[in-house]
Amino acid sequence: MNVDIKGQECRIRWIHCRIEDDSGKTLPRGGETIAYILNDKGKRISGHAYCSVKDTYNKKLGRTIATGRLLKSLGLNTKLAISC
């Protein structure tokens, strides 16, 4: 997803972190999604979404929440997050 930030087009990227048990098996609950961009100075700006260990992990919902938080921290319209 690309967004325009002060006349510069930036690409939003995501990292999905899942929880594993002792045997290395990925668990269906819990985790974190990070939405980030790199600004023109190479600094990473990010937004985070955390999934409780009581909730089933949902990649699309995590992206939407994390992107909304990223955009909000930049002072942009968070409705853009719904389209990701």
Taking only the tens place, the pLDDT of each residue in 5-43 is 777 788 899 999 999 999 999 999 999 999 999 877 778
- Rounded average pLDDT over 42-61: 92
- pLDDT reading at 74 higher than 90: no
- pLDDT band (50, 70, 90) for residue 1: confident
Domain with 15 in it: 2-83
Helix/strand/coil for 67: helix
pLDDT of 80: 62
Question: Considering only CA atoms, which of 73, 52, 57 is closest in space to residue 81?
Answer: 73
- pLDDT reading at 82 higher than 70: no
* Torsion angle defined by CA atoms of residues 77, 56, 38 and 84, in that order, rounded to the nearest 10 degrees: -50
Q: How many domains does the chain have?
A: 1
